[in-house]
Every structure is written in C-alpha cells, then in structure tokens.
Amino acid sequence: MRRLPYKNDPKTENRTELVRFMNMCMVENGRGDVLALDKVDDSYSGTTFPGGHVERGESFHDSMIREVWEETGLSIKNPVLCGVYHWTKEGIHNVVFLYKADEYTGTLQSSDEGEVYWISKEEFRKKELAIGMERVLEIIESGDKRECFMYPKEEGYVGALY
C-alpha cells in the first residue's frame, strides 16, 4: 500500500518549499535591437527586460504574454522558453523563467514599471543593468546554458551556470 504524502510527512518535508514564479522576456525587433525596461521599483531597479510574477492558476506562457503587454503595450507571439534563473531568499525559492520573442504587434508605451525603449544589444550591455542581467543574457543567448542558480556566499550571491 502506497502512503500519500501529507504536509508534515518527514519523508517529503525536505521536498516541499515556498516558491515564487516569475518571468522575463528578451523581445527583439529584427534589426539588432532589444526591448529595454528601466525598472523603477525600489526592490529591483536598473535596466532589464519586461517581466513579472506568474499569477495563481496562470500558465507560464500566458503569464509572459500578459506581463510584456502590461509593461510595454506590445502583444508578443510565440515566446520561446530559453532557461531558468533562480535563487532562495528568506525561505522562498524564486524562479524566473526566461523567454525570448521576435514576433509582436501593438504600439510601444511605458508603464508604471518604468520607461521602455528599443536599444542595440551592445548599448544594452553598457547600461546600469538590474541585478543578474548579465547571467540572464548569457542564458538567453548561449544556446547551451539553460540554468543559473544563485547561492549565497559571504560576499553576496554567486551564480552557477548549467
């Protein structure tokens, strides 16, 4: 007889954790430019790509389309999942699904999240990037790296790419 796990089951306790799902998308315009967002949130600021939180009961795919539309006014089509960037902080495993897209419709417009604009990839890299964006770019562009796990060290978080 197989025993079903329950909340305080010691055999499954170390397999259960609080998780926060998020997403981010590098939107390209076919002319070598990417869509940048100058994030103004106090807890996460700097230049980044559009993205945000996955809502309860929402697919990761649909969440990505919704977040890009909310932050940019663009409706992306066929976002491609490129990898995952994740870390644990204050007992919550934060997981960001990384996408890229090059098909979209709509008119670009900024939101409360910050200003959005097209910029070359070279110029994007020179901006004051939000935390972790170097690793995000590496995953999205590499083709062979699919995961970055950030783990705490005395000097701060350190990333391991897989």
Q: What is the pLDDT of residues 27-84, one digit of tens each?
A: 999 999 999 999 987 778 899 999 999 999 999 999 999 999 999 999 999 999 999 9
Query: pLDDT band at residue 15, thresholds of 50, 70 and 90?
Result: confident
- Does residue 149 lie in a domain region? yes
Q: Which domain holds residue 24?
A: 13-161
Calculate the CA 72 to chain-centre distance: 15
Predicted pLDDT at 2: 52
- Does residue 7 lie in a domain region? no
Distance from C-alpha of 92 to C-alpha of 95, rounded to nearest angstrom: 9
CATH number at residue 40: 3.90.79.10
Contact 111/66 with Cβ under 8 angstroms?
A: no
The three-point CA angle 54-159-76 to 5° equals: 35
- Does residue 150 lie in a domain region? yes
Residue type at 156 in one-letter notation: G
Distance spanning both ends of the chain, measured CA to CA:
38
- For 74, 86, 105, 118, the CA distances from 65, given in Å and listed in that order, are 9, 20, 12, 18
Sheet holding 80-89, edge to edge: 51-53, 18-27, 92-101, 80-89, 147-153, 156-161
Contact 136/158 with Cβ under 8 angstroms?
A: no
Predicted pLDDT at 7: 59
- Does residue 127 lie in a domain region? yes
- Does residue 115 lie in a domain region? yes
Number of domains in the chain: 1
Whether this prediction's pTM lies above 0.85 is answered by yes
